[in-house]
Chains A and B, each alone.
Chain A
Amino acid sequence: MQLDFVNRELTVKLVYYGPALSGKTTNLQALHKAAEPGASGRLMTLETRDDRTLFFDLLPLTFRNQGSLAVRLKVFTVPGQVIHASTRRLVVQGADGIAFIADSRTVETQHNAESFIDLKENLKQHGLTLKQMPVVIQFNKRDLPEVRSDAEIAELASQGREPVYLAVAMRGQGVVESFVGLLHLTWSALDAEHDLNKKFGFDSEAFLATVAKKLGDARPLPEILGACVGGALDVLKPEAG
């Protein structure tokens, strides 16, 4: 997070993490497509010839609430391929929240787990733990055959801490819900730490609703947030000490 007091601007870094080809870039493309003109900048992709993410994708989103604070969201992806370990570590540095995009197919279960362990390891290198980090998990590619069942995911999700979303990023389903969920969690954590709502007279619920609306989802906020299975969307308490 970067806070510019002079221009009253807050920049928040959100990172989409996950194994190779799980749909991180597709999520960003869907967000970019859904965003109102003016709310989103150009989606910057740094990709290799085979369309794989080389370093990251970067989607800038800017929202100005009725308060005077402008919130700039920078949404990043990481390259999923195993060999880009050092790049992943660089991109995840300074992240305020992480959306973990998992591939729903049963055959990918192992890759999802490995990537999650990789995330944990990279956070550790920056002196962070998963507990301190707002994380949502998205099970993408729900439309494909031989995916892990809704019941199985719900069962596991109910035991876990992270909010879990189901998505078909190719069709834009579940993308905005995951994003709003992540933003909610991230904002709660930042507010708990920096007391932003009070300092800037910021109404975070109204802000979230604005973001959702500008991303084409006009439903009431509780309904959007209710799309998650399992986990907890409560405020993360900053670690004592």
Chain B
Amino acid sequence: MTLSAAPPKSLDDLTLGGDMSLEDLVSRDGLAEVIKSANELFGLPIRVFTEDGKLLADAADSIELYAYLNTSRAGRAALSEVVAAVKALAPGPDGEAHYTCVTGASYRVAAIVYDSRQIGRMILGPFLPDPNAEPPASLLGLDAQLDVENLRGLYRKLPRGDEQTVTNVARHLARVLDLLLFSGHRALLTSNMHLASVRESFRELEDKNQKLQVAYDRLKELDRLKSNFLATVSHELRTPLTSIIGYSEMLVEGLAGDLTKEQREFVQTIRDKGDQLLALIKGLLDLSKLESGTMSLRKNQVDVAVLVKDVVSTMAPTARKKEVELTFEVEKGLPLIWADAERLRQVLLNLTENAIKFTPVSGTVRLIAKITGMDATSGGDSGGMVLLGARRTGVEMRVVDSGIGIPESERSRVFDAFYQVDSSSTREAGGTGLGLSIVKRLVDGHDGSVRIEANQPRGSVFVVTIPVKRATIG
């Protein structure tokens, strides 16, 4: 099928029928096949022209008589006259026209009409309507150079067909063509409509996308304002709190005179709760800094083994108090990782504290550190392991508890700020729901990952992976 480079026609052009052309509606090859089969069936030379006189399909063997005539000057002149005359032949109101040429052979021109408009012409011929016809004098006397006997012989080889047959062939072909044109038109319309509706749907989607983008930008701005507010408020809360803690500390130390046992107990409680409040505010401040991207990580070469031991010794008293066994395993020869030691310590402390909190009496919490392939950690072999598996190495830190565990459906949400698995007011465990969101953001800041797995038979495993080398991107 020949596709024109012209811009696609609009629906109105295609349906209201402005300038529909034969070439637009039929495939050249299909047309050629149809007229070739008619040519084979009836032995008539057939040509199809577009409305502006371009030959579109040709099913006509070369005529030996014409080839011979072409060898003489007068013959050549006569033939070109024939060609011009036939080409200029306009079909009458009945859609047909006849022409008899100098050789005595006939031509039939039939209009190709679609949607009551002429869009092309079909030329049948030359043919001899009378099977017994003898060459006319106009042919034999054309040029003295031409051999009369040869002309007679070639004349007999001209295609023959009586007028009625030619009329029938022309009408039959017109009907076949009409159907071809109709199918072509239908296909053209369908494809154009498809394109147009896709374009229209695309335009609609674009429209909606733009509206969504505006709404999204607005929400992002609101979120930024919220973070700013959080940072300001936390900061403003911290200042007076420092004084409260400082003065209660001085009271406990007796700087303002001796306290009774009861007074000391009360003031100590004020101090402890003050510390708790301060920790909470620091958490909020961290979170808002992390969210607004203003927290800077001071990265350096960090030895994970040292870090793990430190965390375990820090948390040991808490574990002992809760009667939870706290152990650690560190693989030998761990590489140094590129991290902010203080922040990474905060991550491990938080996870370990959580693990102890949710592990019942006589349970165990284990810290495990080992080397791992970074991309292999995201859910097993998901294809391309051989290419991606060893791309980057990292150190994996696991905090394994035998606590209540986290249902699979909750695992992706526990890292959201303020999210609590058990958010009922009667929940057993305390906490603000800030810890894990800070963990997640700190780990992200290290170009690492954190995920949750189930421990067998019960409990959860928090897996933090930090790359060994500095990320090259981002």
Please report A residues at the B interface, Cβ cutoff 8 Å.
2, 11, 13, 41-42, 44, 46, 54-56, 58, 60, 62, 70, 72, 74, 76, 84, 86-87, 89-91, 93-94
The secondary structure that dominates the A interface is: strand
- Assuming the A-B contacts A44-B186, A62-B116, are A55 and B193 also in contact, with contact meaning beta carbons closer than 8 angstroms in the complex? yes
Are B193 and A72 in touch, CB under 8 angstroms? no
What residues of A have a CB within 8 angstroms of the CB of B25 in the complex?
none
User: Could you say which of B18, B115, B193, B196 contacts A41, with CB atoms under 8 Å apart?
Assistant: B115
Q: List 15 A-B contacts (CB under 8 A).
A: A2-B12, A2-B16, A41-B115, A44-B185, A46-B186, A60-B17, A62-B116, A72-B16, A74-B15, A86-B204, A87-B197, A87-B200, A90-B196, A90-B197, A93-B12
User: Could you say which of A58, A62, A90 contacts B200, with CB atoms under 8 Å apart?
Assistant: A90
List 20 additional A-B contacts (Cβ < 8 Å) besides A2-B12, A93-B11.
A2-B18, A11-B17, A41-B115, A44-B189, A46-B186, A46-B193, A55-B190, A55-B197, A58-B15, A58-B189, A60-B17, A60-B115, A60-B116, A70-B116, A74-B15, A74-B16, A87-B200, A90-B193, A93-B12, A94-B16
- Decide if B182 is an interface residue (CB 8 Å cutoff): yes
Measured in the bound complex, the distance between the Cα atoms of B204 and A89 in whole Å is 12
Measured in the bound complex, the distance between the Cα atoms of B11 and A13 in whole Å is 12
What residues of A have a CB within 8 angstroms of the CB of B197 in the complex?
55, 84, 86-87, 90
Are A91 and B11 in touch, CB under 8 angstroms? yes
Are A86 and B201 in touch, CB under 8 angstroms? yes
- Name the distance in Å between A186's Cβ and chain B's nearest Cβ: 15
Contact with A along B14-34 (1 / 0, CB 8 A): 011110000000000000000
Please report B residues at the A interface, Cβ cutoff 8 Å.
11-12, 15-18, 115-116, 182, 185-186, 189-190, 193, 196-197, 200-201, 204
Measured in the bound complex, the distance between the Cα atoms of B426 and A150 in whole Å is 67
User: Could you say which of B18, B182, B189, B204 contacts A46, with CB atoms under 8 Å apart?
Assistant: B189
What residues of A have a CB within 8 angstroms of the CB of B193 in the complex?
46, 55-56, 87, 90
What residues of A have a CB within 8 angstroms of the CB of B17 in the complex?
11, 60, 72, 74
- Name the distance in Å between B150's Cβ and chain A's nearest Cβ: 50
Are A42 and B182 in touch, CB under 8 angstroms? yes
Measured in the bound complex, the distance between the Cα atoms of B421 and A34 in whole Å is 72
Measured in the bound complex, the distance between the Cα atoms of B116 and A93 in whole Å is 24
- Name the distance in Å between A214's Cβ and chain B's nearest Cβ: 14
What residues of B have a CB within 8 angstroms of the CB of A11 in the complex?
16-17
In the complex, residue of chain B having the shortest beta-carbon distance to the beta carbon of A58: B15
- Assuming the A-B contacts A44-B185, A90-B11, are A13 and B16 also in contact, with contact meaning beta carbons closer than 8 angstroms in the complex? yes
- Name the distance in Å between A61's Cβ and chain B's nearest Cβ: 10
What residues of A have a CB within 8 angstroms of the CB of B189 in the complex?
44, 46, 55, 58
What residues of B have a CB within 8 angstroms of the CB of A74 in the complex?
15-17
In the complex, residue of chain B having the shortest beta-carbon distance to the beta carbon of A87: B197
- Name the distance in Å between B195's Cβ and chain A's nearest Cβ: 10
What residues of A have a CB within 8 angstroms of the CB of B116 in the complex?
41, 60, 62, 70, 72
What residues of A have a CB within 8 angstroms of the CB of B185 in the complex?
44
Measured in the bound complex, the distance between the Cα atoms of B201 and A93 in whole Å is 16
- Assuming the A-B contacts A41-B116, A72-B116, A93-B11, are A46 and B190 also in contact, with contact meaning beta carbons closer than 8 angstroms in the complex? yes
What residues of B have a CB within 8 angstroms of the CB of A70 in the complex?
116
In the complex, residue of chain B having the shortest beta-carbon distance to the beta carbon of A2: B16
- Assuming the A-B contacts A42-B182, A46-B193, A72-B116, are A89 and B200 also in contact, with contact meaning beta carbons closer than 8 angstroms in the complex? yes
In the complex, residue of chain A having the shortest beta-carbon distance to the beta carbon of B181: A42
In the complex, residue of chain A having the shortest beta-carbon distance to the beta carbon of B189: A46
What residues of A have a CB within 8 angstroms of the CB of B182 in the complex?
42, 44
Measured in the bound complex, the distance between the Cα atoms of B182 and A56 in whole Å is 15
In the complex, residue of chain A having the shortest beta-carbon distance to the beta carbon of B114: A41
Are A86 and B16 in touch, CB under 8 angstroms? no
Are A76 and B15 in touch, CB under 8 angstroms? yes
Measured in the bound complex, the distance between the Cα atoms of B116 and A60 in whole Å is 10
- Name the distance in Å between A228's Cβ and chain B's nearest Cβ: 27
Measured in the bound complex, the distance between the Cα atoms of B186 and A93 in whole Å is 19
Measured in the bound complex, the distance between the Cα atoms of B200 and A74 in whole Å is 23
Measured in the bound complex, the distance between the Cα atoms of B193 and A44 in whole Å is 14
What residues of B have a CB within 8 angstroms of the CB of A46 in the complex?
186, 189-190, 193
In the complex, residue of chain B having the shortest beta-carbon distance to the beta carbon of A62: B116
In the complex, residue of chain A having the shortest beta-carbon distance to the beta carbon of B196: A90
Measured in the bound complex, the distance between the Cα atoms of B15 and A89 in whole Å is 15
Measured in the bound complex, the distance between the Cα atoms of B189 and A74 in whole Å is 14
What residues of B have a CB within 8 angstroms of the CB of A55 in the complex?
189-190, 193, 197
In the complex, residue of chain A having the shortest beta-carbon distance to the beta carbon of B12: A94
What residues of B have a CB within 8 angstroms of the CB of A62 in the complex?
116
Measured in the bound complex, the distance between the Cα atoms of B254 and A151 in whole Å is 100
What residues of B have a CB within 8 angstroms of the CB of A41 in the complex?
115-116
What residues of B have a CB within 8 angstroms of the CB of A93 in the complex?
11-12
In the complex, residue of chain A having the shortest beta-carbon distance to the beta carbon of B13: A2
- Name the distance in Å between B146's Cβ and chain A's nearest Cβ: 47
Measured in the bound complex, the distance between the Cα atoms of B116 and A98 in whole Å is 24
Measured in the bound complex, the distance between the Cα atoms of B189 and A91 in whole Å is 12
